[in-house]
Amino acid sequence: MTDPRIFDLPEADLAWCPGCGDFKILEALKKALADMDMAPEDVVVVSGIGQAAKTPHFMKCNFLNGLHGRALSHATGVKAANPKLTVVAVGGDGDMYGEGGNHFLHTVRRNPDIANFVYNNMVYGLTKGQASPTSPKGMVTPVQTRGVSSEPVNPLALAIVQGATFVARAFSGDVDHTAEMMKAAIEHRGYALVDIFQPCVSFNKTNTFKWFKDHTYRLEDEHDSSNRSAALSLAMETERFPLGILYREEGRPTFEDSLGIYEKDDTPLHRRSPDVDKVRETIDSMT
């Protein structure tokens, strides 16, 4: 097992509030990659905007920090250009399910071979705690002073219905279990969602570490993760939330497979020499 510190940036100044659940998710991510003996140069962490999206700033590996809500599109492009890389997309519930909601839906459909870790704290932690897509109905925030009026998005149910090939949930208060879910997601060939409960100690005084401990439970080993109907039923539970792999489907072709450019040659696109004659033919046909 590789030392997780291989992914540490020397003297990195973490810009999160003391006690933030993001610290534990960062720890779990580095642990997962180290347990899998990943080399920093073989990993790309992609993010958008938000507190969770700062994660790659604190890791020694390749990263792409893009626009709000666009991490999944960028991650899909990175993986398509170089399938040999391990690509991880990270972001908060606002970034992935709000601004990035449209990209979330269509990334699930495309099934790129990427792992998507969503830090779900049920508020916008970067912009002073207003309601996010996963905020529970009735929750009072500095903006929704009379309480949230909309039903929350159910990301796990949505992913399962859309055809995601791997859907799991974790809790940042349990680093070892979170790391195990991350490893399983990275090892899965296809799009893999891990929704991670992450307490926001500054703006969400309801869904605290204790609240999540009291309102979650581990799935039993007997759970059949290949049973889509059972997985959807688990995803719909709201009194207590199941932690673990709800659904997993192996063998479905990935987005990269559909491109048809790696069937005979697995050389990444940026390392290939262009066919000059074909380029000229294409230009001539357009003029």
Helix (H, G, I), strand (E, B) or coil at 225: coil
Q: 193 in the Ramachandran plot: left (φ > 0), alpha (ψ -120 to 50) or beta?
A: beta
Residue of 205, 210, 230 whose CA lies nearest to 142: 205
Over pLDDT 90: what percentage of the chain?
69
286 pLDDT above the threshold of 90: no
Weakest mean pLDDT among 51-65, 131-145, 225-239: 131-145
β partners of residue 1: none
Weakest mean pLDDT among 57-66, 101-110, 259-268, 277-286: 277-286
Residues 6+ apart with CB under 8 A from 89: 45, 46, 47, 71, 72, 74, 75, 114, 115, 116, 117
276 pLDDT above the threshold of 60: no
Find the mean pLDDT for residues 134-146. Answer: 81
Cα(123)–Cα(25) distance, integer angstroms: 17
State the CATH architecture for 4-286: 3-Layer(aba) Sandwich (3.40)
Give the pLDDT confidence of 182-222 residue by residue, as tens digits. Answer: 999 999 999 999 999 999 999 888 899 999 999 999 999 99
The residue whose two tokens read 């830090």 is 119
In the predicted model, what is the mean pLDDT of the chain? 91
Give the pLDDT confidence of 72-100 residue by residue, as tens digits. Answer: 999 999 999 999 999 999 999 999 999 88
Helix (H, G, I), strand (E, B) or coil at 131: strand
Domain ranges for the chain: 4-286
**Does residue 185 or residue 141 have the better pLDDT?**
185
**Does residue 258 or residue 44 have the better pLDDT?**
44
287 pLDDT above the threshold of 80: no
Burial 47-78 (b: 16+ CB within 10 A, else e): bbbbbbbbbbebbbbbbbbbebbbbbbbbbeb
Model confidence at 274, pLDDT cuts 50, 70, 90, reads: low
Cα(1)–Cα(3) distance, integer angstroms: 7
Helix (H, G, I), strand (E, B) or coil at 208: coil
Model confidence at 275, pLDDT cuts 50, 70, 90, reads: low
Model confidence, pTM? 0.91
Distance of CA 129 to CAs 21, 22, 125, 142, Å?
A: 15, 15, 5, 7
Enter the DSSP assignment of 157. H
Model confidence at 277, pLDDT cuts 50, 70, 90, reads: low
Give the pLDDT confidence of 98-132 residue by residue, as tens digits. Answer: 988 889 999 999 999 999 999 999 888 887 788 78
* DSSP string for residues in 8-25: BPTT----S-TT-THHHH
69 pLDDT above the threshold of 90: no
The residue whose two tokens read 């992935």 is 96
Q: What angle do CA 266, 267, 271 make, to 5 degrees?
A: 165
What's the token pair of residue 99? 């601004």
